[in-house]
Structure 1
C-alpha cells in the first residue's frame, strides 16, 4: 500500500511478474488489515480538506500530474509493457490517452457547475398562495398582483457537492488510463480515493500515487492498497466509503453491487462486441479496423471486436482481407518494437481461451488462421462456422479471437449482433445513415460506432453499457456527476 505522502510501509511485498517471460518487473507492498484500515481512515480524514479546495487548486494538481507523466513517459510505457504484457505501441497510446484524460479533468474541474432551476413556472403554486379561505380563486386586485409578483421572486440553485471517499477497483488491461478514469474525476470534484488496482498490474498505480504526491495532492487524498479479495470486499461494505466504482468482469461487478449496501455504485463490465459489415462498406478499412479491435493487445478489451457479421455480397472479400491482415500480425515480446500481439495476462487465461477455441472446433467451427497457444501467447485467431450458443460467441473471450459469420440480410445481422446478454459497444460499417439509426433503435448498446469498431473511445465521451455490461457512465464529466450529489438552495428575495 502507498499514499501520496507515505508514512508507513506494509509488512510484506509481492513480486510482480511479466506475463511474457515471468521476469520480475518490480515488488509491490501488500496491504493487510491494518493498512486497509489506515487507508480508509486517511481518506475519511482528508475529505474535509479536499472538498473545500478551490477548484483551481484541484485543476492545477491534475495539470501538474499530466506534466510529470509526460516527462516520465517512456519509463511509464515500459512499466505498463512489463507488468501488463502490453506491446510498446499500445502502451504509448495508453500514456497519451492518460495525458488527455488528466488535462480534460483539469478543464472540467474549472468549468463544472450547477444550474438555476426556474421556480415561477407552476400556476398551481400561486393559486394556492392567493386562494380564499374556502379554497375558491380570488379576483385579483392591483394589490393582489403586487403580492403575486413578490411570490415570483425566488431563485432556485442546484449545486453539486462531492460525496466522500471513493473506492476505485480497476482492471489490468489499462493500468494507467482506466485508473485515471476513476481517480481524475474524483479529484476534480473534491473527493478522496482509495485505489485497489488489479493484482497483476499494481506497480503503475504505485507510480501514479507518486506522481500525484509530486503534483501536490494533499496527504490521504489518494491511497493505493494491493490487498486480498476478502479485504477488498470489506472496503466495499465499509460505511465510510461513499461510492464504489469498478471496472472488470460482470460476475465480480454484480457481486460488488450486492455487497455495497446503500452507497453509490458504478460498474463498467464485460462485453462481446459485435461488428456488422454492410454491402456498401469500405472492405479494406473495415477489415483493418476489425484486426485492430479484435486481436491487438491480445484482444484484452472489454469493447474489443469478438463477433463479425458480414453480408453475403461482400463476405468473401472481407474474409480474405481479414485473414491476410491477422496472419501478418507480429507476435512476440511486448518490449520489442513492432510487436502487435504479446501474451494475455497469464497462462491460465491463455489455457481458458485455448479450451474455448478447441470446444468450438469440436462442435463444428473452423479455424481460418491461428488457433494455437504458446505459453501465455494465443495466436491471433479467426473462427468461422460458429453458432450463437458457443462460448466464443455468447461469452466474453477476452483474447485475440474473432468469429466471422455470413449473413444474407442486414436486419438479421443487427438482430444477431443485439442478441447478447452484453451491451457495451458495437460497430456498423455502412454509409446508409437511415440503416444506422434504425440499428440503434434495436441494438441495446451504450455506444454504436458507425464505420468503426467498438474499441473507438475518446475519454471524454459517455461510456458504459446496457444489460450485463454495467451500470452508470464513465467519461470525465459523466463520472464527475456520479461522484457528486445535488444540494438545492431556494432564495426568496421578494
Structure 2
C-alpha cells in the first residue's frame, strides 16, 4: 500500500518512498512518500493560497467542519484505533482511548471556533485617550507548521490542527515518520467534512529535511512542535521571528506522602508509569515516597506491575507492547545497566524481547544517573525515599525539565506548598503527573518547552491581537 502526500486537497506522488513496519512484529505496513524540498514548498504554496479563504470563513462554518471531523472519527472509531495500534504498537484498548480523546479535542476546537473574540479598551483611563472608543480583535496568523510525535499520532495532531483551523489558519502538517497513517486518515476526514483545498496539507519524510524547509520559510508564521529538547532548541534558534510553541517532554515526578491510601492509588500509579510503554511526555519516571511507607509502597507497586500483560497490541488484554524502535530499547537498557552499576537496585524487569522492554523498577538510583536526570521515554521507573516534605519538593525541582508533577498527600498545607513551590507547568494534587484532559492548559517550563496547548490556550498563540480605535468628533 502506497501512501501519497496530501497537498492542496489531493494525493501527490513523490520520487521516493520509505517502508513502514509494525514495531511489534516487523511486518511491512505501507510504503510512505518521502517529500522532497520541492514537495514541501508546494505544500506551503497551497497553505498560503488557502490562508485567505480560511481567514474569511465564518466562525460557524469552521466550527461545523471541525465537528464534522469529530463525528466521522466517531463513526469509524475502531478503524482509527487499529491504525494507531498497528503503526505505533500502542495496545488496542489505549488506542481506543486516544481515539475518544481525539473526538473530544476536535469537539472542543469546534466550540472554541465560535467564541474567539476581543474586548473593549477604555482609552479614556489615560490622559489623551478621551473621546475615543477602542476594541481588540483576534486575527489568524496565516500558515502554521505543525510537527507531531509518534506517541499520540491522532490526538497530538488534533491539538495542533484543531486550534489552528478553529482560528482561521491553514496548516502544513509533518507527522512522525513512524506514524503517518493516522495523519493521512485525519486529512481524509477533513476533506470529507468540507475543508477547503490547501487548508490542511500533510507531508511525510525526513524530519530534518522537511522541518528545515518549514521553519525557514518566511510564509510560515508559526511552528508548533512536540518532540525532543534537542530538536526543539534547533527550531527555536532557526525559526527567526516566527511564533514557536515547543512541548519537549520531561522526567515527571510523583511525591507520595505518609498517610496515603496506597492500595487505593496503586493501580493509578502503575498506569501512569507504564501506559504506552512509558512513551508519554508526562509518564511517571521518578517516584519519591515518604520513608515510613516506602517498603509497603514498593511491595505493592511491584505486585501491581506484575499484573500487566505484555504482548501483541491488537490483543484486547495487552497492557504493554513494543517500543517504537529497537534503538529505544537498547538506549533504555544501557541507562538501566549504568544505574545498577552506580548502586541502584533492580527490583523488577530490565529484560527485553525484541522491541518489547518489560516494565522495569529501580530503587535508589542516583539523581545524576541518566535514568533519573534525562527523559527515559520507556517503561522504567525508579523509587527513592524522603523524610521531610520540603526535601521531596527539592528533589522534584532538581531537574532540567518541568512539565507536570503529581503529589499524593492528605495534608492541605503540604498540598498548597507543593502547588506554590514545584517549578513545573502543572501540579496534580492527589493524582499522577500523567493526568491530562484536552481542554486544560498544557505545557512546561525549563527544558520542557515554551507555550501552552489545550484548545483555548493554543488559539491564543495562533492568533494576532489587533487594536481598533475610533476618535469621536
TM-score under structure 1 normalisation? Answer: 0.93
Match of 2:420 in 1: 441
Contact 1:62/1:184 (<8 A) preserved: yes
Q: Distance in 1 between matches of 2:162 and 2:264?
A: 34
Segment of structure 1 superposing worse, 108-117 or 172-181: 108-117
The aligned residue for residue 166 of structure 1 is 144
For 1:99, which of 103, 117, 123 is the aligned residue?
A: 103
1:282–1:429 CA contact under 8 A, matched in 2: no
Output one character per residue of 1:354-390: Cα deviation in whole Å (capped at 9) or x when no partner. 1111111111111111111111111101100211000
The question of 1:387 aligning with 2:390 is answered no
The within-5 A match list for 1:215-364 is 215-228=193-206, 229-364=208-343
**Are the equivalent residues in 1 in contact too, given 2:40–2:213 (CA < 8 A)?**
no
CA contact (8 A) 1:164 1:192 kept: yes
Query: Is structure 2 residue 163 aligned with structure 1 residue 185?
Result: yes
Over aligned residues, Cα RMSD in angstroms?
Answer: 1.1
Q: Helix, strand or coil: the match of 2:10?
A: coil
- Structure 2: how far apart are the matches of 1:467 and 1:34? 36
Aligned CA distance change for structure 1 residues 320 and 4 (closer, same or farther; 3 Å): farther
Q: In the aligned structure 2, how far is the partner of 1:4 from the partner of 1:94?
A: 28
DSSP 3-state at the match of 2:114? helix
Match of 1:148 in 2: none
User: What is the number of equivalent residue pairs in this alignment?
Assistant: 468
- After TM superposition, the score normalised by the length of structure 2 is 0.97
CA distance in 1, matches of 2:143, 2:466: 18
Structure 1 residue 7: deviation in Å? 5.3
Distance in 2 (CA, whole Å) between partners of 1:111 and 1:459 is 17
Deviation of 1:24 (Å): 1.7
Give distance in 1, aligned partners of 2:122 and 2:259.
49
1:40 aligned to which of 32, 41, 44: 44
Deviation at 1:320, TM superposition (A): 1.0
Q: Which residue is equivalent to 2:72?
A: 68
Q: 1:56-107 CA deviation, whole Å, 9 max, x = no partner?
A: 0000000000111111111110000000000011100000000110011000
Distance in structure 2 (CA, Å) of the matches to 1:245 and 1:8: 24
Q: What residue is the counterpart of 2:176 in the other structure?
A: 198
Q: Deviations over 1:320-357 (max 9, x none)?
A: 11000111110111111111010110111001001111
TM-aligned CA deviation for residue 34 of structure 1? 2.2
Where do 1:418-437 residues align within 5 Å?
418-437=397-416
1:210 is matched with 188
Q: Name the larger-Rg structure.
A: 1
Of stretches 53-62 and 2-11 in structure 1, the one that deviates more from structure 2 is 2-11
* Structure 1 residues 423-464: Cα deviation after superposition (integer angstroms, max 9, x where no partner): 000000012222112112221100000111111001111100
**Where does the alignment leave 5 or more consecutive residues of structure 2 unmatched?**
none
